[in-house]
């Protein structure tokens, strides 16, 4: 369970990007017919992006997602047991949708996480910091073992909470070392999304607007007590500004 949970916590996109107006109206019904229509639209955008990735990449998009629904995330990405990339999209993402270009930027963000092996890189980094933490004080071993047992359990929600606890533990010991590593990967995925979306013919300028939509939604949910958030994604304001600056230089994402 760890490979999936680690990625959900750290790389699961909280981007809330629009599909189109009709999707907003229909998603409320959430019937099988509506889901099929939305899925077809999502798959069309996804396949257009896939046509502009390197050959031999195995990624699939699932709508409506099952894990993202349990984790209260509109979209997320992870590597499954077959080492294939999976992007999940939940109806919540469509609630805040505005344009197909914004949706493409979000999917491209998740694809970049997979293409650049962020799951594997995060796990290796977290494992190295955990080992260092235990070696620093052998008394920490029992605490870490208890947390790891929950992370590797079958209960997805409990695993996710345990993963957050491990990150908090390591961050407290080493000055947010794990969260900062995660933020760097989020920024890398943001930049990769600009390149991929642009190659596929979508407007990368929509990415910064999407981030502002995310920020507005996230703050509202936190104020209403509906979401506690996580530090890796709480850097949205800075990320939105960075994306805006990046779009001012078209040569950065025209390769």
Q: How many whole angstroms separate alpha carbon 82 and alpha carbon 3? A: 12
Q: Nearest Cα to 208, choosing from 160, 253, 157, 147? A: 253
Distances (CA, A) of 25 to 30, 41, 47, 255: 10, 15, 24, 37
pLDDT in tens, 174-217: 999 999 999 899 889 988 998 999 999 998 888 777 766 766 66
- Is 50 exceeded by the pLDDT of residue 9? no
pLDDT in tens, 35-66: 778 888 899 999 999 999 988 888 999 998 88
Q: What is the mean pLDDT of the chain?
A: 77
Is the model's pTM score more than 0.95?
Answer: no
Is 174 within 8 Å of 77 (Cβ atoms)?
Answer: no
Q: Would you state the pLDDT for residue 117?
A: 93
Q: How many whole angstroms separate alpha carbon 217 and alpha carbon 219? A: 6
The tokens describing 137, both together, are 């004080």
Distances (CA, A) of 5 to 1, 9, 111, 197: 6, 6, 17, 27
- Is 50 exceeded by the pLDDT of residue 6? no
pLDDT in tens, 81-95: 888 899 998 877 776
Is 95 within 8 Å of 24 (Cβ atoms)?
Answer: yes
Q: Nearest Cα to 133, choosing from 88, 91, 188, 170? A: 170
pLDDT in tens, 135-187: 988 889 999 999 999 999 888 888 888 999 999 999 999 999 999 999 899 88
Average pLDDT on 115-142 reads 93
Q: Would you state the pLDDT for residue 133?
A: 95
């Amino acid at each position: 369970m760890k490979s999936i949970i680690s990625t959900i916590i750290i790389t699961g996109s909280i981007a809330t990007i629009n599909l189109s107006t009709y999707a907003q109206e229909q998603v409320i019904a959430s019937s099988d017919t509506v889901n099929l229509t939305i899925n077809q639209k999502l798959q069309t955008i996804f396949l257009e992006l896939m046509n502009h990735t390197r050959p031999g990449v195995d990624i699939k998009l699932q709508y409506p997602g099952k894990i993202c629904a349990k984790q209260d995330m509109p979209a997320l990405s992870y590597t499954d047991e077959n080492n294939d990339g999976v992007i999940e999209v939940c109806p919540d993402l469509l609630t805040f949708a505005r344009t197909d270009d914004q949706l493409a930027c979000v999917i491209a963000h998740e694809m970049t996480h997979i293409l650049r092996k962020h799951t594997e890189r995060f796990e290796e980094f977290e494992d190295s910091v955990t080992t260092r933490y235990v070696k620093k004080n052998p008394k920490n071993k029992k605490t870490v073992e208890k947390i790891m047992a929950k992370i590797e359990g079958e209960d997805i929600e409990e695993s996710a909470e345990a993963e957050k606890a491990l990150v908090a533990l390591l961050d407290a010991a080493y000055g947010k070392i794990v969260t900062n590593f995660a933020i760097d990967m989020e920024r890398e995925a943001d930049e990769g999304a600009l390149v991929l979306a642009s190659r596929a013919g979508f407007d990368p300028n929509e990415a910064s607007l999407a981030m502002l939509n995310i920020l507005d939604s996230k703050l509202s949910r936190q104020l209403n007590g509906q979401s506690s958030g996580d530090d890796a994604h709480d850097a949205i304001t800075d990320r939105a500004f960075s994306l805006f600056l990046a779009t001012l230089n078209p040569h950065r994402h025209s390769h």
